[in-house]
Structure 1
Amino acid sequence: MIFDHVSLPVSDFEKSKAFYVATLAPLGVSIQYEESAETTGTTAFVGFGTDQGPEFWIGGIMKEPRNMSHVAFRARDRKTVDAFHAAALAAGGQDNGAPGLRPHYGEHYYGAFILDPDGVNIEAVCHDPQG
């Protein structure tokens, strides 16, 4: 599996949230994580998934123009996350979050974020507690 999760921007967060709650329920997919605009300081997000955690995210449009598409690639270990970040910077990507633990996403969530040439937020993430 190469993807860890994917995020899509939506124009009407509450309408889209209700749509995906209803649409994904027959697939056994439900809300696993949610953040309000007050918490993020930008826009609300909701992550859908199974008991293994969120894999499909939606979020409202930011106040300032920005590409809100997001793709997270699964990395085998933390060294690989670090290498991804370094390689992306060397290839002209813009840092959007240095490699490190992000316990608010999960106890062992180790990720790094880069904006690609079009401003898409790409990420590498490792969930292995051993690193």
Structure 2
Amino acid sequence: MIAYVTFGVDDIKRAERFYAAFLPVLGYQQERYQGDLSYALPVESGQAAVLPEFYVKSPFDGAAATAGNGTMVAFEAQNQQQVRDLHAAAMEAGGVDDGQPGFRDAYGPNFYVGYLRDPQGNKIALFSSNPNEAGRDG
């Protein structure tokens, strides 16, 4: 089981603006720890954390953060409209488009996805595979 995912960034304020544009809408709560950011889904007292958590941090070694080639984190939205809305909000908050929301021929008929990069260049996917919505073929 994956416990957490971490992205390194050089500018926490820019990253916070970007991630605040869509993660709270998906239910994530932000916490700060020693200047870095952590995002987790809420849990009731006495319950185990919902994994994975998502961390945005300055690199521990003090070197510049770099985006991993082939590295991406995907966040699931409730429906296609939410994918479009969150993609637009993240772009407005400093993101860079890396693939407008839509269906992709390489994926299943209900997989609707938009891609973007955070201000550091880390790749994010926002997707919905809601079977109650019209798919690519319908």
Q: The TM-score by the shorter chain falls in which range?
A: 0.3 to 0.5
- Structure richer in strand, relative to its length: 1
Normalized against structure 2, the TM-score is what? 0.45
